[in-house]
Amino acid sequence: MNIIFDQEQQVFHLYNNKISYIMKLFHDGYLSHLYYGSKLDQINSNVCVYFTEREGAPQPDGLQDARLFSLDTLLQEYPSYGCGDFRIPAIEARLANGTSALDFRYKSHQIIKGKEALDNLPSSHVDNDKALTLAIRMQEVAGELELTLYYTIIEDESLILRHSVIKNIGNAPVRLGQLASFCLDFYDCDFERIHLHGAHANERNIQRSKLNVGIDVISSARGASSHQHNPFVALVRPDCTEHNGEVYAASLVWSGNFSAQVEVSSFENTRLVMGINSFDFEYKLDVNESFTSPEAVLVYSNQGLNDMSNTFHHFVREHILPKKWAKTLRPVLVNSWEAAYFNFTQESIVRFAKDAIKLGAELIVLDDGWFGHRDDDTTSLGDWDILNSKKLPNGIKGLCDEIHSLGAKFGLWVEPEMISPDSNLFRNHPDWALAVPNHKRSQQRNQYVLDLSRKDVRDYIVDVICKVLASADIDYVKWDMNRNLTEIGSVLLDSDRQGEVATRYVLGVYDIMHRITSRFPNILFESCAGGGRRFDLGLLCYMPQVWTSDNTDAVCRQAIQYGTSLVYPPITMGSHVSAVPNHQVGRSTPMLTRFICAMSGNFGYEMDLGKLGEAEQAEVKEHIALYKQLRETIQLGKFIRLISPFENTKNETAWSFISLDTNTVVLMYFKNTSKPAPNLRRVYLKGLDASAKYKVYKHLATKQVAYNDFLKARNLEGEILSGSELMYAGLTMDRIDADYSSVLVVLHKQA
């Protein structure tokens, strides 16, 4: 790992044993991108860059080869608009004189050991001896703005971390309109774009499409990273598959409005710009004031999407999640929400807990409805200091202590960012909710959004939530956020700063999360924003797991969890077994299928286990015991996607886990709709030791329907297979003539 600057060639080269990232200074300080990809020993910048005249491409004054050199054709590191480059910019600002043409030139650079934390923003953490950072200082020629571009390379990681900082060094305020986290330029346009789209209860579907000439945009303007689009994008070569081909991917450490813009120019170059969404964004920079973009994680792979994901997964576990929780195995959880909704008492929750603990549950979570007079979702958000004593006469502490006495941990639901119109808090402080003058507020789920740009509001939230959490020995908190931002205005900010509110809101979220989680480092926090509204690297810096989706149906969850896995490791995904018919889609699926799908993340139950029959309770007990045996492999091991629910038949899904010591392999296969005369699916495993032998430890499959009892259940337990056989000849899945079937195979590597 090193960062070098070749003074003679004016070339920066960041590299480790996997990748190189190379830039060059041209003429009077123009910073150009040369290369990003597999490690290079060197690059001849006189050969790799070829200038030629292009009609319609302006040239800067005063250059000898003026007709050949143009910013509109140059691959750039951080382009701006107005001085010759007509493509999408990375930065936009209006100077004190009212103009917006920007021309940034190199002034100096610094190579820093390690990586510094970002101001007021979540960011990755790296040991100083494992990383190097290059800071390149640029200055706008008018002398009003200083721009610093940061690049961090980490030992043994196939990725680059980037962010930027703009500072007003002039004598009057400047209005910032955009500050991207990065720009990445490519010579060609032979790419396809992959992104994750969806909706509430249908998150992170994979879409892959060919690039077209022009600009393609994915974005959120909802005040959150959103169910609709995840802050991730990948550019892949057309021949790229899960296990072969080139990938250039990026994900933001950010939880608010974002955009990822891809432009194919008229000269068939490609530009990717990603950062805070410039739509409805404006930030006033007073003299000497700075603004920092969110950190971006840029991953490169020449071994396909699965290798890209493994890089992201390792990075998230090692450098994003709070260190205390990064490798801490998560408890088996049972949540009261779908079991009881608002209708519970202390006695019913204790009975619910006893039934779950008897079957192996380790954490009992009391969801919504414990505060104020909240018997439905129309009231009391914000009144966290008012306990619903009818339901909990002995308080949170009384319930918590009783759960602990039963031998389990105790968790609690909160939604601190919201306020109900019917609440003491709103009656006393109506100005604390986001609003704009002369407009009525919009409601969603009967609630408004608190104005977290205000310090007094943030202080109240921190104070009241900390009092609740200090009132009992609470082990887990589910932090919800059930609506998007509308009427985004603050009564405390001046009119020329209203364009900052959405950004200041997210910074406010980070502030209260940092203060609360720091105060209670031993509480396991789970982010839940209506399910997957804020599944991003930003929140994972504070809360090491996320409720993946409100949709708990085992068929829908295959696609949701498969798409989520492109970036996020299983240890971050909350995934539960729920009752049937499913509360979101009304589907009934076998208990085994629900179990196999849910055990692919942080496993739990979203149901009243005491209401099951004896046979189902016995099945649940076996499932929980098996999960505990496999938990370390699933939560900390390597995750490998094998069959995509978005491709081919779109009726099958398969993935596997390999333990860190490579001795345990867990294969999961799902087939959703039964068909006549079915093909017997062979699944080809990946990542095994071809020369090793593997013994089948566990083989579970959905039972045949009654009229097919003559088909004897296959039992592979005890069989020995070679790694080469499993990878190249494949393993044939059971024939099951039933809908929503699944197969689980656990293999142990033989000594």
C-beta separation of 452 from 458 below 8 A: yes
Q: What are phi and psi of 167, to 5 degrees?
A: -135, 135
Active-site residue, from 72, 185, 355, 480: 480
* Bridge partners (DSSP) listed for residue 478: 413, 526
**Other CB atoms within 10 Å distance of the CB of residue 407:** 10
**Rounded Cα distance, 275 and 455, in Å:** 25
Which residue is associated with the tokens 């890089």?
311
C-beta separation of 15 from 1 below 8 A: yes
Q: Which alpha helices (H) appear in 439-550, and where do they start and end?
A: 455-470, 501-519, 537-540
**Other CB atoms within 10 Å distance of the CB of residue 554:** 27
Catalytic annotation present for 72:
no
| C-alpha pair distances (Å), 383 with each of 219, 466, 511, 524 | 34, 13, 21, 23
**What is the sign, positive or negative, of the torsion defined by CA atoms of 80, 83, 84, 86?**
positive
| C-alpha pair distances (Å), 117 with each of 35, 325, 725 | 27, 19, 47
∠ CA 359-365-371, nearest 5°, is: 145
CB-neighbour burial class of residue 666 (10 A; exposed 0-12, middle 13-18, buried 19+): buried
User: Token digits for 164?
Assistant: 């930027």
C-beta separation of 569 from 316 below 8 A: yes
**Rounded Cα distance, 138 and 160, in Å:** 20
Active-site residue, from 85, 550, 553, 734: 550
Query: CA nearest 733: which of 682, 685, 665, 690?
Result: 682
Catalytic annotation present for 456:
no
**Rounded Cα distance, 634 and 128, in Å:** 30
Q: Which alpha helices (H) appear in 59-130, and where do they start and end?
A: none
Active site residues: 480, 550
